[in-house]
Chain A
């Protein structure tokens, strides 16, 4: 086997293991060696433990030698440091969870474990997934593998950077307002935000429960599909998961070659002032490619798009303020020394939370408080309905929507930290998808003249995850953007 085991994608690794061209131990060692080599430049990982991970890999090899032929047995995968893996730390990028060791597996982890995957490393995230750059992580900023002066996006910037830099063949991530798709676009990899209710969040550190969804970041749509297929489905531990069956869509995704018979909508609201000209040009070229593959492209309108970020920044902080009430210094993590209980709560949270989390918890507390609830929270819930109806109208006549993932390519570290509203506007094309509960896919669609990746956003109606994956796969079959590698 060549020295470049780390270059293999998720399904390529599975094939190499099945055909006994490599062992899980060799693959895992290659990834750990590469992580040790590159992490001083990237800081994409918050944890990896050579001995513990190699023991898992050796156990997978032993099982395979004994006749276990599960297709993903021994395949390494990185996990966002927001998801509980039994026996591993889970910091959520926060100082308040420093030292916490997960006492159980998240459902997505239990499913990957049952499939035989090896949890090779944990990836950096903005604190409690609140951010678009990993700059709010208590464990340092992750750097973009394409330009280490720039951010990888966020909040799943660690997962996207690690997959782009070949530290893992794929990673799990989470997306509340764009946290899978935006970093995938910034790092030139593929990211899926599944439909709300498609993937269980049990064991995922909660941020905004009506918006959070877990999904894969990978180096191709096929690989993302393979991971999605394992983690999707009904879970009694998450009452929002849908009872609908999860069809095996991998064969259709692998066979996708054209877009004949599909009608794809192009919202005029997604091509407005403020969209970076090169990102616009790359997105329009990708749309032209979809037309060349046989899709009919039609102009559509999503008139309430411009209210999405304001709506999101009422609802998400409101839900966060409730979810983060659990960090009280009593049951887990950090506790500040104090004389009485009240002071202990206030000092634990003052010292344990970073600036962005405090900002959002205070904002969320305000919009839910007596006297302001109706003006902000209730009104935002109604605007959410208007945004959802916009999508319903478009999907009545279109199979999917195309657009940019981000308004700009990756920005410089520190460029937006002083101005929260500017940072929040980075979610302008992605947050509406979470508000509507529908699915979205980011696929690489080219590079700016400065060598920074851009992403094509493929948005589908609820539970049309397989359809957008097929569209993305057909696009990737015709293009080479997803095969480009950063030189680090």
Chain B
């Protein structure tokens, strides 16, 4: 799929990005969000003023490293209690709208 972002990097195509995020927007919402997100992107654009060449990234700030647990089975959540929160469940499974004709 071709990217359909606007040519100005600081002005996003709100409808397109909302589609990626699986959020339907009304016209009024899209218009309001466009203005607010333009403001926010202009604000976070401040970061471009910093020289970050040669700086490593921080993804987690503290000493945490990949943690391993013993390779033994542990109980998950109980099926009934878990399915009780589903909007629709049948035969011990989540139900979704039909995806295959």
Contact = CB atoms under 8 A, between A and B. Distances in A.
Interface of A: 99-101, 103-104, 195-197, 210, 236, 239-240, 242, 304, 306-307, 309-311, 313-314, 321, 325, 328-335, 338-347, 349-350, 353, 355, 358-359, 361-363, 365-366, 369-372, 375-376, 378-386, 388, 419-421, 424, 435-438, 462
A379 B20 contact: no
Contact of A197 (B45, B56, B63, B81): B63
B52 A386 contact: yes
A332 B12 CA distance: 31
Interface residues of B, number: 57
B97 A339 contact: yes
Given A362-B33, A365-B20, A341 B47 contact: no
Q: List 10 A-B pairs, minimum CB-CB distance, nearest first.
A: A437-B61, A335-B87, A239-B67, A381-B57, A103-B81, A382-B52, A332-B85, A350-B24, A346-B24, A437-B62
B87 A384 contact: no
A99 B87 CA distance: 10
A334 B24 CA distance: 15
Interface in B56-73: 56-64, 66-67, 69
Contacts of B60: 196, 210, 240, 437
Contacts of A385: 55-58
Contact of A331 (B57, B62, B81, B85): B85
Contacts of B87: 329-330, 332-335
Interface string B64-95: 10110100000001100110111110000010
A196 B62 contact: yes
Contact of A321 (B21, B41, B45): B21
B52 A379 contact: yes
B3 A462 contact: no
Nearest to B85: A332
A332 B55 contact: no
A369 B86 contact: no
Interface of B: 3, 5, 9, 12, 14, 17-25, 29, 32-33, 36-37, 39-41, 43-48, 50, 52, 55-64, 66-67, 69, 77-78, 81-82, 84-88, 94, 96-99
B21 A362 contact: yes
A333 B48 CA distance: 40
26 contacts: A103-B77, A103-B82, A103-B84, A103-B85, A197-B64, A239-B67, A240-B60, A310-B46, A311-B44, A314-B44, A330-B87, A333-B87, A345-B22, A346-B24, A349-B22, A349-B23, A363-B37, A363-B41, A365-B17, A371-B5, A372-B5, A375-B48, A382-B58, A385-B55, A420-B39, A462-B63
B61 A435 contact: yes
A419 B35 CA distance: 10
Contact of A242 (B17, B64, B77): B64
B86 A195 contact: no
Contact of B59 (A99, A210, A341): A210
A333 B94 CA distance: 13
B40 A363 contact: yes
Given A366-B12, A384-B57, A236 B5 contact: no
A339 B82 CA distance: 25
Contacts of A378: 57
A341 B23 contact: no
B33 A358 contact: yes
A21 to B, nearest CB: 39
Residue from A304, A313, A363, A388 with most neighbouring chain B CB atoms (10 Å): A363
Contacts of A358: 18, 23, 25, 29, 33
